[in-house]
Amino acid sequence: MVLVFVPYLAAAVFVAAVVIRWVKIARLPVHLRWELYPVAHERNSAYGGSFFERLDWWKHHPPTSRMGELKVMVPEMLLLTGVHEHDRALWFRSYPFHLGLYLLAGFIGLLLAGAIAQTFGARIEAGWLPTTTTVVGVAGLVLLAAGSLGLLLRRLASPALRAHSAAADFANLIFFFTAAVLGLVTFATVDRDFASLRLFVRALVTFQPAGEMPALVAIEIVVVSALAAYIPLTHMSHFFTKWFMYHDVRWNDEVNQVGSKLEAAIGRQLGHKVDWSAPHIRGDGKKTWVDVATERVSDSGLRPVELDAGDGKNPPRVLSQKEIGKP
Amino acid sequence: MTTAVPFANVGRPSERLGTLEEKHRIPLPPPYDKDEEPPLPQLSAQVRAACECSLDDTVAVSLPRPASPEAEEALVKSFLAGLDKLFSEANNWTFLEPLVLSIEHCAKCQTCAEACHIFVESGRNELYRPTFRSEILRRLYFKHKSGGSLVSRFQHGDIDINWTTIARLLELAYRCNLCRRCAQTCPIGVDNGLLAHEIRKLFSMELGIAPKEIHEKGSLLQLRVGSSTGMSPAAVKDNIDFIDQDMSEKTGIPVKTRWDVAGADVLLMHNAGEILAWPENPGAFALILDAAGISWTLSSELVGYDAINYGLWYDDAQFARVAVKHAQIARKLGVKKLVIGECGHAHKSMMVIADRVLTGELNIPRESSMTLLDDIVASGKLKLDPTRNDFPVTLHDPCNVVRLMGVVEPQRRILRQIAPRFREMTPHGVDNYCCGGGSGFAIMSGHNFADWRMRVASRRKFRQILEAFADDLDPKHPKYVCAPCSNCKGAIRDILKRYRAWERVGIHYGGLAELIVNAMADVKPGFINFSEL
C-alpha cells in the first residue's frame, strides 16, 4: 500500500518544484533589453533582421509572428535543432536521451489512459493500446539508456568536460542510466507486457491497494518516482525554464512606449534604492537609480533630470539651474 | 587544445594559471601561413610584482597587488558583498533575470566553445573557454550562498573563495569581447557573454575596479569634460571646422557643419574618436546629409558630441548617466530624432539598452545611421557612380549593430548599389565574428594587452578578411574592408598594420559613408585615394 503513495509524493514534489521555480522566475523584475538576433517573431528573422532596419521604425507597429516562433521552437523541442547545428557529436548522444524521455512521458500517459479505460470497464487487452504502450515504453527505455550512457562516457572522456563537471553532473546521468536499465531488466525478466505496471497504475488511479507485485517492479517504481521528483530541483529544469530564456531574454524586443505598462514598471524600478559602494556611485541605500543616473559627477555641467515615476503623473523634465542651486 | 585547468587550481597562487602555446594555434591563410610569429612580449618582472596578473601572459586591468593579507581579506569581503548585490533586485534589476537564468541552467555541454573566436584562435586555450569564467562565478556564487554546504558542492562543484580566485576572475572578465556569439549557439539559452558583463559590473560598481581606458579615461572623462577623447566643446568645433574645410577642398562641394540647430530633423551623434582618427567619416556624413537635403545638426553641449557609452561594457550607473545625458540634449534641442553615426556600441547603447532607462519625454526616437543612409541612397537624391568604387569591397558586421540589434540589410543594400565588387565574409550577418576590439579591447593598450588582442582576439577577423579577398591578394590591387563602427575600425586598423596588410596584400579599411561619397558623381574623383596610403 505504501508504494502507491510514492508516485503521488514524487508528482507533488515535481509539481511544487516546477511551480515554485516558475513563479520565482516570472516575478523577477523587467530587465534591460538583451535580445539576440535572429529574433524568431521578427518579420525578417530568416536573416536576423529587426524592426530597427526600417526608417522611422517607431512610426510602425513592430511586426510580430507567433508562427515564426513556433517554426523555431517546435523543431527545437522535438529535434534539438540547435545542438544538431552547433555540436553534431553531442546531438548523437543528447537526442536519443531526450527522445527517450519524451517517449517515456508518452508511455506513462498511455499507461494512465489504459488504466482509466479499464476502470470504466473497457476491455483493452485485445486492442492496440497494450502493444503501443509496450513499443513506446521499450523504445523510450532503450533510447534513454543509450543516450545517458553516451553522454556519461563523453563527459568522462573529455578532459574539458570532466573539469567543468560537478559530481552531480555525473551522478545525474548515472541516475538516468540506472532507471532506464532497471526498466529494461524488469521488462525482460518479470514484466514482459508491462502488465504489473499497468495494474499498479490502475491502483493509483482508483486509490486501491496495488496488491502483490515483483520486487523489481516495485524498485523501478521507486527509482523512477525519485528521478521525476529530482529533475526540477536541478539545472535540468531547463525543460521549462528555456521558455523564459527565449521569450524573456533572447527574443524579448518589446519596445518601451510612453504611457505603457512596461514604462510604468521601469519607472518603479528606477525608484529602487541603490547601495553599490564604488566611489563613483556611493550608494547609501537612500539614493535611487534616478538619483545615480542624474547626479552631477563633477562640476561638468551635468544637470539632474527628474524622471517619471512610471505613473504618468510626473513627466520627466530637466531641472533648471535655479532648482538645482549653484554647483 | 591545451590541458584542462582544474578549478581547484584557480585559487592556488602561482605565477600564471596558463599561457599561450603557439604550437596549438591555427596558421593564418597565405601569404601569412609561412610567417614565423614572434613570441608575445612578456610582462616585466616589475609589472608581475606590482600588478595582479597571475592569470596568463597579459594584464588588462593593472590592478595593484594588495599590500597585505588584511587588504586581500577586505577585497574578498567587498567582492562577496558585491556578489550579494548582483543578485538583488534593487541593485541589479537591470539584468537580474538573464543573470539568474544563465547561472542556474548551464548543462556544461561546451557547445558554445567552438563559437568563440578567442578560444579557437588561442589554440583552444582552456582559460579562454567561454564557460571557464562563468563556471568560476557560478561556483563562487553557490558556495557563498550555501556557506559551502556538502549538497551545494555536490551539485555545483567547489572552488576556493580567496583573493587569488577573485583577482583571476577579474582578468578573465576582460578576455571576452562580449560579442555573444557563444550565446547564439547555446541550446538552452545560457549567455556566457552576459556573465562576463556581470562580473565586470560587480568589480566596477562595488569595488571601483575597471580598466582605466574605459572608466577613468573613458566614461568618467566623458562625463567630466564632454568626451573620452578629452575634447572640449571649443576643441570639437575647431576640429569640425577643419574637417569641413578639408572636405570642401577634397570634394569640390562646400561643406559646413551646423551646430545646435533647435528643431532640426536629425541630431547626429558621432563617436568623437572619428573626429580625431578618421575625420573623413564625419566629413562624409556632413556632405551626404546636405546633399540629401536633410535638416540636421551636431550638438556642442558636453557629452552631446560624443556618442560613446562605455558603461555598456562594465557599469550600469555609468551607462545610465551617459544615456540620460544624450537624451536630455536631444530633447533640449527639440530634434525629431537622434541618429547614431558609425559606432556599434553607441548604436546598441542608445537604441536597445537605453530603451528601458529612458522614460517619458526622454524617450525620444533614436535611429541607426545605416537605415538613414540606406534611405538616402535608395531615394535617388544622390547622383551615384558605382564605377568609382571599382575595387573589391568586403563588409565587417559590428556585433552590436548586427547580432545584437538586427540591423543587417541596410548597409548591404547600400554596398550592392555603390560597390560593384562587393563580397561577403564567411560567416557574416548575425553569425559574424567580432573584430577583436569589442567591449573596450580596441582602446585598451596597457602593457602588452594590445599585442595579446591582435595575436588572439583579432586574429579570426584578419583570417576572414584574407579569405574574403583570397581571389586577388596582389598588393597592387587595392581592396577595402568596410567597417561601419569606430571600435571595429580601430581594431581592424591595428591588425592590418601589424601584418603590413596594405604593403603585402593591398588591403585597406574605412567606413561606409566614405564609400558613398567616393561614389558620388558630383564629388571630385578619388575621395578614397589609395595612392596616398
Check B114 against A87: CB less than 8 A apart: yes
Q: Is B318 on the interface with A (CB under 8 A)?
A: yes
User: B-contacting residues of A 67-106, CB under 8 Å?
Assistant: 76, 80, 82-83, 85-87, 90, 94
Check B189 against A246: CB less than 8 A apart: yes
Chain B, nearest residue to A307 by Cα: B359
Q: Are B313 and B227 in contact (CB under 8 A)?
A: no
Q: What is the pLDDT of residue A296?
A: 77
In this complex, which of A38, A82, A289 lies closest to B430 when CB atoms are compared?
Answer: A38
The CATH fold assigned to A2-30+80-250 is Fumarate Reductase Cytochrome B subunit (1.20.950)
Nine cell digits for residue B183: 550565446
Q: Are A96 and A143 in contact (CB under 8 A)?
A: yes
Q: Which residues of B touch A279 (CB under 8 A)?
A: 208
Check A58 against B365: CB less than 8 A apart: yes
Check B361 against A267: CB less than 8 A apart: no
Q: What are phi and psi of B35, to 5 degrees?
A: -70, 140
> Is residue A311 predicted with pLDDT exceeding 70?
no
Q: Which residues of A touch B407 (CB under 8 A)?
A: 49-50, 52-53
Q: What are phi and psi of B298, to 5 degrees?
A: -105, 160
Nine cell digits for residue A77: 523541442
> Is residue A327 predicted with pLDDT exceeding 70?
no
> Is residue A221 predicted with pLDDT exceeding 60?
yes
User: A-contacting residues of B 85-144, CB under 8 Å?
Assistant: 85, 89-91, 93-98, 100-101, 104-111, 113-115, 126, 129, 131-132, 135
Selected for mutation to probe chain B from A276, A284, A305, A307 (highest B CB count within 10 Å) is: A276
Chain A, nearest residue to B5 by Cα: A163
Q: What is the pLDDT of residue A67?
A: 87
Q: What is the pLDDT of residue B531?
A: 83
Residue A214 to residues A178, A186, A190, A209, B71, Cα–Cα distance (Å): 18, 9, 7, 15, 65
Q: Are A136 and A187 in contact (CB under 8 A)?
A: no
CA-based nearest residue to A314, from A254, A256, A270, A255: A270
Residue B297 to residues A50, A218, B60, B335, Cα–Cα distance (Å): 27, 79, 37, 9
Beta bridge partners of B393: B422, B480
Q: Mind telling me how many Å the CA of B90 is from chain A's nearest CA?
A: 5
- 3-state secondary structure labels for all residues of chain A: CHHHHHHHHHHHHHHHHHHHHHHHHHCCCCCCCCCCCCCCCCCCCCCCCCHHHCCCHHHCCCCCCHHHHHHHHHHHHHHCHHHHHHCHHHHHHHHHHHHHHHHHHHHHHHHHHHHHHHHCCCCCCCCHHHHHHHHHHHHHHHHHHHHHHHHHHHHHHCHHHHHHCCHHHHHHHHHHHHHHHHHHHHHHHCCCCCHHHHHHHHHHHHCCCCCCCCHHHHHHHHHHHHHHHHHHHCHHHHHHHHHHHHHHHHCCCCCCCCCCHHHHHHHHHHCCECCCCCCCCCCCCCCEHHHHHHCCCCCCCCCCEECCCCCCCCCCEECCHHHHCCC
Domain extents in chain A: 2-30+80-250, 261-324
Q: What is the pLDDT of residue A319?
A: 39
Q: Exposed, middle or buried by CB within 10 Å (0-12, 13-18, 19+), for A236?
A: middle
Chain A, nearest residue to B378 by Cα: A55
Query: In terms of residues, how long is chain A?
Result: 327
Kindly report, residue by residue over A146-176, the tens digit of the pLDDT. Answer: 999 999 999 999 999 999 999 999 999 999 9
> Is residue A89 predicted with pLDDT exceeding 70?
yes
Q: Say which amino acid occupies A174.
A: I
Q: Mind telling me how many Å the CA of B531 is from chain A's nearest CA?
A: 35
Q: Is A167 on the interface with B (CB under 8 A)?
A: yes
> Is residue A300 predicted with pLDDT exceeding 50?
no
DSSP letters for B368-417: EHHHHHHHHHHHT-S-B-GGGG-S-EEE---TTTTTTT---HHHHHHHHH
As a whole number of Å, the end-to-end CA separation of chain B is: 40
CA-based nearest residue to A42, from A34, A33, A53, A31: A53
| pLDDT, chain A, mean | 89
Q: Is B367 on the interface with A (CB under 8 A)?
A: yes
Kindly report, residue by residue over A100-148, the tens digit of the pLDDT. Answer: 999 999 999 999 999 898 888 888 877 899 999 999 999 999 999 999 9
Q: What is the pLDDT of residue B2?
A: 67
Beta bridge partners of B482: B395, B510
> Is residue A1 predicted with pLDDT exceeding 70?
no
Chain A, nearest residue to B106 by Cα: A235
Q: Mind telling me how many Å the CA of B309 is from chain A's nearest CA?
A: 13
Check A32 against B318: CB less than 8 A apart: no
Q: Is B77 on the interface with A (CB under 8 A)?
A: no
Cα atoms in the 13 Å half-sphere on the side-chain side of B443: 21
User: B-contacting residues of A 15-54, CB under 8 Å?
Assistant: 25, 28-39, 42, 44, 47-54
Q: Mind telling me how many Å the CA of A294 is from chain B's nearest CA?
A: 6
Q: Quick one: pLDDT band at residue A61, thresholds 50, 70, 90?
A: confident
Q: Are B134 and B38 in contact (CB under 8 A)?
A: no
Q: What is the pLDDT of residue B1?
A: 59
Residues of chain B with pLDDT under 70: 1-2
In this complex, which of B6, B180, B359 lies closest to A36 when CB atoms are compared?
Answer: B180
Q: Which residues of B touch A238 (CB under 8 A)?
A: 105, 107, 188
Q: What is the pLDDT of residue A126?
A: 77
User: What is the ipTM metric for this complex?
Assistant: 0.96
